[in-house]
Structure 1
Amino acid sequence: MPMRSNAAAAKNAETPHTGRPTLPPAPEGFPDAVALFLDLDGTVLDLMPTPDAVWIPKDTIEAIGAVADKLDGALAILSGRSLEDIDRILAPLRLPAAALHGAELRRRGGGRVADGGSPPPERLVAALGAFVDARPGLSIEDKGASVAIHYRSTPQRESEVRERVAGLVAQFAPTHELQPGKMVVEVRPRGCHKGGALDLLMEEPPFAGRRPVVLGDDLTDEFAFESAVARGGDAILIGEINRASAATYALPDPEGVRAWIQALAVS
């Protein structure tokens, strides 16, 4: 069942431009009945010109750790980043995580539920590299199990990037698929997404038997949104985004997410 709170009942406020209720101060059943899943970039972290430029306040890391403790460990990161990158950003925390959209998946205590699968073929990576090299402002990020083309510096190239990368994937990597995101397109193993990762984690302690609550901002998060809602949980869309979404609630920006997490930590 959906979240309820006195604040939400009294105000029933909506986040601007989304038409969705603003996320209440705490999920119903927090902490004993809730499993929390957090995206990073664009959700907890502000988007930056390059993926390496992101920054997270120390008090937010401490708050995430405190909330994880309140949830008896039922807090996981769902991200397109690698496990190594997630751990670097959130150090010293080492949380359950679905990295590379679920191609890498770590359970509580460090055990792997799933491993990366086949990386994109070398000839595809080479073709993508040549495409990027010929277009200033684009960058390529080889994550092993997936490869991403970023166009944050040249957003006018969006259509060109999507069309060309889709063509190269069809030509060189039929076992992979294209996943568009915010100023990025990513090539990943077909069928590998955050919704499947959430489902796997929800079958194991400490997540099993709890109601999933997912925060995310991008198209890649919609898979997790749909999975959470299907399990009777909630999905929170971050940003003033007016698009079709499975989200049940909204918050305006990552700053609001960080404040929400810090409030949970001391509740």
Structure 2
Amino acid sequence: MPDGIVDARHAGARELTPPPAQPDGFPDRLALFLDLDGTVLDLAPTPDAVWIAPETVAAIDRLAERLGGALAVITGRALDDADQILAPLRLPTAALHGAELRRSGGSRVAAAGEPPSERLRAALTAFADARPGLMLEDKGQSVALHYRAVPELEDEVRARVSELVAQFAPDHELQPGKMVVEIRPHGCDKGGAVRALMSEPPFAGRIPLVLGDDLTDEFAFEAAVGLGGGAILIGAADRPTAAAHVLRDPEAARRWLAELARA
């Protein structure tokens, strides 16, 4: 968890509020960063079961146009996967938590770090195969183990995956999420991706605003706040967060984006 977060559960912490209908700087000075799963997309039992309405894609496209291209996706998904979901859009994207980066204009930055070893993949596969309901998702540069179908295995999953990372991937790190644990190259996080994109046109000089729902998004939240911007937490404000604003669920986030696109 990044430093500088605020625990919204504790007495004395500032209360999260709904975001303004038009955030500061919109549209000429705002840069918008969108997570996908749990933020724009409703969570699904498996990663390939998500669905996005054409009108939501159209609203994102309209917002990207109004922001002069300063709209990016920051996601734990692979780049090709994100593109397939948002087709026909090809937005600036930080995929795999920043391990893959596509700049404005389409140029790609080579994936950062080495992918998890075959020994680690084999050990994770054996662990998952022995426990019906677990699902291993191989993203290339990272590997995620989902336990959404068997939440009672959370403690066992986190403990065992932590042991395997220490044994087979000391140069990688464990990133917990909503009913998932992910192993990714050390130092690759969404905060670094936000800072990288904000250093280049058309994002440079704008006010960053991040929408996200999960622990992985806190790195992006803190980066945006550090750059003079802000963050909107999607979902229950029941954990420490650097966000100042909250929307109840992805449906509320989609409505907010649609209204902003029409503003």
**TM-score (structure 1 length as normaliser):** 0.92
Give per-residue Cα distances to partners, 1:76-110, cap 9 Å, x unaligned.
Answer: 00000000000000000000000000000000111
- Measured in 2, the distance between the counterparts of 1:75 and 1:45 equals 17
Name the amino acid aligned to 1:57. Answer: A
Shift of residue 19, structure 1, vs aligned partner: 3.1
> Equivalent of 2:243, from 247, 254, 257?
247
Are the equivalent residues in 2 in contact too, given 1:106–1:114 (CA < 8 A)? no
Structure 2 counterpart of 1:127, from 110, 123, 126: 123
Q: In 2, Cα distance between the equivalents of 1:106 and 1:147? A: 20
In structure 2, the partner of 1:3 is none
Q: CA deviation at 1:265?
A: 1.1
Q: SS state of the match for residue 211, structure 2? A: strand
Query: Offset of 1:233 from its aligned partner?
Result: 0.3
Distance 1:104 1:115 in 2: 5
Residue 84 of structure 1: SS of its match in structure 2? helix
**Structure 1 stretches lacking a partner, 5+ long:** 1-17
Instruction: Tell me, yes or no, if the aligned pair for 2:113 and 2:186 is still in contact at 8 Å.
Output: no
Number of equivalences:
250
Name the residue aligned to 1:152. Answer: 148
From 77, 84, 87, the equivalent of 2:80 is 84
Residue 182 of structure 1 aligns with an amino acid whose one-letter code is K
- Determine whether 1:189 maps to 2:185: yes
In structure 1, how many angstroms separate the alpha carbons of the residues matched to 2:161 and 2:180?
11
Which residue identity is paired with 1:32?
D
Q: Distance in 1 between matches of 2:21 and 2:107?
A: 32
Runs of 5+ unmatched residues, structure 2: 1-13
Q: How many angstroms does 1:263 deviate by?
A: 0.7
Q: Could you tell me which amino acid in structure 2 is paired with residue 43 of structure 1?
A: T
* Equivalent residue for 2:209, pick from 198, 206, 213: 213
2:33 matches 1:47? no
Query: TM-score, structure 2 length as denominator?
Result: 0.94
Conserved? CA contact 1:113–1:200, under 8 Å: no
| Aligned residues of 1:213 and 1:234 also touching (Cα < 8 A) | yes
Give 1:113 shift. 3.3
Alignment of 1:1-267 (within 5 A): 19-267=15-263
Q: Secondary structure at the match of 1:196?
A: helix
Cα displacement (A) at 1:251:
0.5
SS of aligned partner of 1:158? helix
